[in-house]
Structure 1
Amino acid sequence: MKNTIAFGAIIALTCLSVPAAEIDKPVGGWNYGGLIDRSGDAAYAYPNPPIDRGAQRHRSLIQGRLKAAGPRKPGTLIVNGNAMTLYAGEDGRYARPYAFGAGSNSIEVRDNDRSVKRVQFYEANAGRPQPRLRVALAWDDSQAEVDMHVITPDGQHAFWAHPVLSNGGGLDVDSVDGPGPEMFTAAAPLHGDYHIFVNYWGNFGAGGYHFDESTREIPVITARISLVFDENTLAEKRETFLIPLRKIGDLTLVKSFRR
């Protein structure tokens, strides 16, 4: 039946306050072909257009509005269980990139006054690989530039300057315009040892990149790293790590594991 969840029924729940946080895209229900990445268009990018280094395949935008506007009042964005701080402009509008896989996906936006909006949709595009390994990084300071580094079993190093690996893995989203996400995905991960690092590289402001510690919004930045195996399957397993970043240059080994 077309009104069953199996055929992508829209689930959009609003609670606790009216009007709630809003999600304009993606819409609930059945999707085919994904969304168009319009982050290079100034009208669709906040606060700065993400830099496309040629490796951000399968990237879509999550767009909407937070009822309580202002960059000093961030909300929370939760995508497929991966939580990250969500900043918006003075008018409350937000636009964040995410690399969705095929199959069932969920989005939840929480305003800072606890308004909630949820959307469930099914991505039917067979061209989107199903991630068997995903590492998502987000942090809670909109001016900080934090980078993820992943070492794969064959010795390759995925990071901002080398986002695509010959083994099929890579950084699908390298966020340079706020608190993440950065995301490493592999549809067919190699067997062996993986090492995940986070690096507080510097800050980003109106004048570009810089290394002035005084511009930080909070004394200690918290990086949230979600390690997900077999996402959106019955075999899904996940681990979440919270890493404090106290000064520019901090490099932290988050996790070493054998796949």
Structure 2
Amino acid sequence: MRIGVVLIVSITLFGGIVIAQQDSTRASLPQVIIASPLGGWTSERIVTVSGEVHGEGVDFVTLVLNGVSQRIRVEGNNFSRQQVLAPGENVISVYAENKAGVGADTVFVNSSAPRKDLRITLTWDTNGTDMDLWVTEPSGEKCFYSYKETKIGGSLDTDVTDGYGPETYTLSRCVKGSYKVEVHYFGGKEPTLCKEPTFCKVEIVKKEGTSQEERTVYKFLLRHPGEVHLVSEFFIATED
């Protein structure tokens, strides 16, 4: 299922969306078309959100998945980025802004993929930069870009090296013990961006899709390559 193109004139691009008013009469507003996924049902947990945007002065779009936003660079009127779906219904919206205002498209995707006990998602706000999500499990194993699968089933589902994210860690069944979440400013592909301060956002979701679901969001600034930020340390008491 999808919603047709919506035209609006105000948006906050990182950390939430604020719609001021709608205006469907301005022909110069950007047009956004989500080509994939088309909506409906899928058994996949990782999907590629891709499409087109038409309008002058649009270099980036904002993709919002279930309320979590991130920027994506537009190249040749096209955008594309892998996303990790939650079990059940997922709302995917893409917004594009130029001087005339904002255009958007939205699709609804239901995923039948098994739920995860733990999902941790990292996004950030600069292009050409590489932020790394590190998750250390109770055994001491660290899941990160060069060690993506752990013995208890932890997985780094996406590893983005060219800006914005997302990087996503998932674990089907948590084991008892302490978990540590860190973010490392690895660097960037473009020399002018390698040292750029970058705002990061990490969302930790426990027991996703259940009555015990718990979501926590952390926001922080990393100033230079090599910096490591301790996001959270938490203890899982049971394996149920």
Shorter-chain TM range is 0.7 to 0.9
Which ranges of structure 1 fall in alignment gaps of 5 or more residues? Answer: 1-9, 35-57, 206-211
Alpha-carbon contact 1:69-1:92 (below 8 Å) kept: no
Please state whether the residue corresponding to 2:199 is helix, strand or coil.
Answer: strand
The 5 A counterparts of 1:69-84 are 73-84=59-70
Once the two structures are superposed, residues 201-249 of structure 1 have per-residue CA deviations (whole angstroms, 9 ceiling, x without a partner) of 11114xxxxxx4xx11884211111111233344332111112111111
For residue 111 of structure 2, what is the aligned residue in structure 1?
123
Q: Is this contact kept in 2: 1:84–1:180, CA < 8 A?
A: yes
State whether residues 78 and 107 of structure 1, in contact with CA within 8 Å, keep that contact through their aligned partners in structure 2: yes
Q: 1:257 to 1:245 in 2, by over 3 A?
A: same
> Which amino acid in the other structure matches residue 122 of structure 1?
N
Distance between the aligned counterparts of 2:125 and 2:185, measured in 1?
12
How far apart in 1 are the matches of 2:61 and 2:74? 8
Does the residue aligned with 1:176 lie in a helix, a strand or coil? coil
| Superposed CA offset, 1:144-183 (max 9, x none) | 1110100112211001111100101110111123321100
Q: TM-score, normalised to structure 2's length?
A: 0.80
Contact 1:158 1:171 in 2 (8 A): yes
Q: In the alignment, is residue 111 of structure 1 matched against residue 96 of structure 2? A: yes
CA contact (8 A) 1:22 1:65 kept: yes
Judged with a 3 Å threshold, the aligned counterparts in structure 2 of structure 1 residues 77 and 190 are, in CA distance, closer, same or farther, namely same
| 3-state DSSP of counterpart to 1:105 | strand
Question: Measured at CA, do residues 257 and 66 of structure 1 come closer, stay the same or move farther in structure 2, by a change above 3 Å?
Answer: farther
* Structure 2 match to 1:55: none
Give the whole-Å Cα distance in 1 for the aligned partners of 2:177 and 2:3: 40
The equivalent residue for 2:199 is 222
Quote the offset at 1:80 in angstroms.
Answer: 2.2
Question: What is the identity, as a one-letter code, of the residue corresponding to 2:159?
Answer: D
Question: Letter of the aligned partner of 2:35 in structure 1?
Answer: D
Measure the CA separation in 2 of the matches of 1:238 and 1:19: 33
> Out of 33, 41, 54, which is 1:30 matched to?
41
Alignment of 1:16-27 (within 5 A): 16=7, 17=24, 20-27=31-38
Report 1:88-237 matches (<5 A).
Answer: 88-89=74-75, 91-112=76-97, 113-124=101-112, 128-205=113-190, 212=191, 215-216=192-193, 219-237=196-214
Alpha-carbon RMSD across the aligned residues, in angstroms, is: 2.2
Note the residue ranges of structure 2 that are not aligned, 5 or more in a row.
8-23
Residue 6 of structure 2 corresponds to which residue in structure 1? Answer: 15
Shift of the 133–84 alpha-carbon distance from structure 1 to 2, 3 Å rule, reads: same
Distance 1:236 1:182 in 2: 21
Contact 1:70 1:92 in 2 (8 A): no
CA distance, structure 2, for counterparts of residue 99 and residue 184 of structure 1: 10
3-state SS, counterpart of residue 114 of structure 1? strand
Structure 1 moving runs of 4+ over 4 Å? 68-71
TM-score by length of 1: 0.74
The residue identity in structure 1 corresponding to 2:218 is F
**Cα shift at 1:13:** 4.5
Structure 1, residues 65-120: CA drift from partner, whole Å, max 9, x if none?
Answer: 2334667x32211112222122111x221110122244222211111243222111
Q: Which amino acid aligns with 2:52?
A: R
Equivalenced residues, count: 213
Partner of 1:65 in structure 2? 52
| CA 123–63 in structure 1, closer or farther in 2 if over 3 Å, else same | same
Partner residue of 2:227 out of 229, 245, 250: 250
Higher strand share: 2
